[in-house]
Amino acid sequence: MTTTDDIVETISFFDSWEDRYRYMIDLGKELPSVDESIRTDEKLVPGCQSQVWIEADQNDDTLNFKVDSDALIVKGLLAIVMAAYNNKTPQQILQFDIESYFTALDLIKHLSPTRGNGLKAMVEKIKRFANDAN
């Protein structure tokens, strides 16, 4: 499983944002495939430019997420978010400093405003799952 530290370290090797975007797309391609049944209105994340679906299951103490998007770059963003949140306890999710993580990736200022808002909407949906499970 790719960790947040792995992603920060790897992305820092790339000089251009074009190469970083390619890396993010590759991360998205590594996400586990999900069944089409995840693509429901209840699992759709509002506020995203592309369609994004997130489903959470609680397994013992941890939350396990199934995620999908209709856009390659957004799947990459989902992979970055999943490195921070997937298979973590609700408490770990709520305590993780996602803003510092995004800052370390130098991510937000390289996304369009609508993509940045969508990324924030993904994080908020995951935090709601964590709050509900807590």
Catalytic amino acids? 48
Phi/psi of residue 67, nearest 5 degrees: -135, 155
What whole-number distance in Å separates Cα of residue 79 and Cα of residue 30?
8
Residue linked to tokens 């679906």 = 53
Q: What DSSP character marks residue 31?
A: S
> How many other β-carbons are positioned within 10 Å of the β-carbon of residue 73?
16
Q: Is the dihedral of CA 46, 48, 49, 51 positive or negative?
A: negative
What whole-number distance in Å separates Cα of residue 41 and Cα of residue 20?
31
Token output for 50: 């592309």
